[in-house]
Amino acid sequence: MTCTLKYQSFNYPTIEKMAVVDTLHGTVIFDNYRWLESSEEPRVQTWLQKQENITRSIINKLRQRKWLVERYTSLWRYDDERTPQKVLGSDRIFFWTTKKEWERWAYYYRDHESAPAVLLLNPNEWGRRTLNLVQPSRDGKYLAFGTAEAGNEQIIIKVMEVASQKILSDSLRGWRQSGVAWLPDNSGFYYSSCPLKGEVPEGEENYWRKVYFHKLGSPLSQDIEVFSHDSVKEYYHAVFVTEDGKYLLLYRGIFNKNEVFLQKIQNNNQMIPVTTTFDGQYDINIIEDKLIIWTDVQAPKGMVYITDVDKPNREEWKVLIPEADDNLLYIAGIAGHLFAVYTHNAHTVIKIYSIDGEYLKEIPLPTLGSARIWGYWSTSDIWVQFSSFTYPRTTFQYDIDKDELEIFHQPPIEIDVSNYTTEQVLYESKDGTRVSMFLIHRKDIVRDGTNPTYLTGYGGFNVPMKPYFSTTYALWLESGGMVAIPNLRGGGEYGKEWHEAGMLDKKQNVFDDFIAAAEWLIENKYTERDKLAIGGGSNGGLLVGAVVVQRPELFKIVYCAVPLLDMLRYHKFGYANIWAEEYGSAEDPEQFKYLHEYSPYHNVIDGTDYPAMLFVGSENDARCYPLHAMKMAARMQEANHSGEPILLLVRKKSGHGGGTTITESIEQQAEVWAFLMDKVGLTPPK
């Protein structure tokens, strides 16, 4: 059958409803729009083009769009150079540079700090091809670099001789190549990749990732398989060469659990197990012939052990840094010290320890925000990058003796954030759990229930939502709006237990936390329903898709980007079956029950007053196929009774989060945020 939907002054495209009926574990499932999964078919492409025409006919008329294009252009186009990457074996330095007129960052090097810059790779000359990976050899003589087409993540690695800029003939096995780890003598490197079609059963080319060794100058047929698994296709395999160049660390895992092996490079036939229990996460480094072991096993907020490298057995481990109240994200060995990076109430704290585990001091960060730290154990440079909601991303060099951060680089962003502030509040979720939330707004905000508010979150995969600077949020604030970001269960702000409280059969907790945040904002007169926009991408797209079908009356507009929405079939596309560790799979009868209960696509109800919605997918997204956005848009256009627009855009030649030029990114961001601003009554500032 066909249906034509007409609301307000626009018509949705005529669409066929071709029912496919599945019976899963005794439950009958109807899917009228499964044919949209075949996105390359001409009829689907025709329907998509009509959807895009409708969307642009609405968005292109909005006055906010023109202002946003101008503001993004002024904020994103500038001459700049990123923090240099120094190599261990020479004075050669590598770095990224952009120019105001360029669409992409280019890659340069210098022979030493005062030498002239030399251009190595310029993606501005490559059309749709992007530069996705760069890994110099230890002395900087060679550069392994990976390119992909239009954000599709199908990276192919090549090797360049830096001084001559000659691209060598070396090619590697498989596709989706990554993880280059050079040997110190430049004889070759390790890498990981997925198999080509025909090497595994059809449809499994995105799995079976293996580690290989490539000898420089040899054909790919001679690449040696180093690390793999025979029966679990979802396992990732990765390898690292330690800073001292003496050992390999080999990881096998899937998201929250892994095992680690150790191998002496001079004895490459003996793989020594460090941990093989698959009972949690482990991250290991070797410093001065000591194994430094971070883990969350029997320590939900993380702790660190130490042992001699020749005594890797579990019974030999000794506690180096015990579990604390704060969540220990990782440990880094830099400049002869151990730096422990924590989240404290969802912001970064960095503590310094000796190799013996003695606490020394805490790095004085500028304010509450997010920071990362990097450097080498054997050199004195300590790099810290910091940002917060009202503090643009800045790179510092840290002087450990003076205990001072010295600004190395600040981006030339012309935006005044002095009138805005961040507060952190606590609210109760449905089951009484206390959840923290950041509110970013003008210092003189009036709590009269009329503030246009953008509420966003993630709540999954142990990812912490810490303070960070966003020009998009800054423009929302500049227009008079407020931003709210709750630290939902499922995230990584408060340790392993916080994450596990929002995954698998507990995923509904994440949605309850988000709904409670919206209710709290309204009850406390920060905003009201007609001023409340919500948005999220990827797992955050699933989040907003789920809450809008559960509580449609609570929101004015929803932005749902690169989402998963059909939770009964998500695992059948790309390499999304690895997400089953987080969500579960409809193949399992018990997991099917809760997936079916919250799957957004299967819980749309005909005749409901849904808010305005904008679904955005990406043509080259291998993580969250655009079929989710497409099927959900069709289903909601059919069901919606409110007359509010349900719009769809599928970005061409874009990936899950990349592949676009600056011009395209400006246009895309302006489209989305103009629509959001218009629906909640935000206008460009005078």
Which residues are annotated as catalytic?
538, 656
Distance CA 527, CA 566 (A): 31
DSSP three-state, residue 25 = coil
Sign of CA dihedral 112, 114, 118, 120: positive
Task: Please state the φ and ψ torsions of residue 493, each to the nearest 5 degrees.
Answer: -70, -35
How far, CA to CA in Å, does 514 sit from each of 136, 219, 466, 535? Answer: 43, 53, 16, 11
Q: Which residue from 153, 222, 254, 158 is spatially nearest to 194, judged by alpha carbons?
A: 153
Distance CA 218, CA 155 (A): 20
375: tokens are 């450097």
Distance CA 282, CA 301 (A): 13
| Residue with the two structure tokens 């507009």 | 557
Neighbours of 43 (CB within 10 A): 12
Q: Where are the beta strands (DSSP E) in 555-611?
A: 557-561
Distance CA 656, CA 623 (A): 7
Q: Where are the beta strands (DSSP E) in 389-519?
A: 391-399, 404-409, 420-428, 434-442, 453-456, 482-486
Beta-bridge partner residues of 612: 557
Alpha carbon 297 to its chain centroid, in Å, reads: 24
Q: Are 252 and 229 contacting, i.e. CB atoms less than 8 angstroms apart?
A: yes
Q: Which residue from 643, 567, 633, 647 is spatially nearest to 608, judged by alpha carbons?
A: 643
Neighbours of 279 (CB within 10 A): 14
Q: Which residue from 331, 410, 328 is spatially nearest to 374, judged by alpha carbons?
A: 331
Q: Are 490 and 503 contacting, i.e. CB atoms less than 8 angstroms apart?
A: yes
| Residue with the two structure tokens 């659990």 | 257
233: tokens are 């296709």
Q: Which residue from 220, 214, 258 is spatially nearest to 236, judged by alpha carbons?
A: 258
Distance CA 197, CA 175 (A): 10
The torsion region of residue 201 among left (phi > 0), alpha (psi -120 to 50) and beta comes to: beta
506: tokens are 């507990």
Position 113: which residue type?
A: E
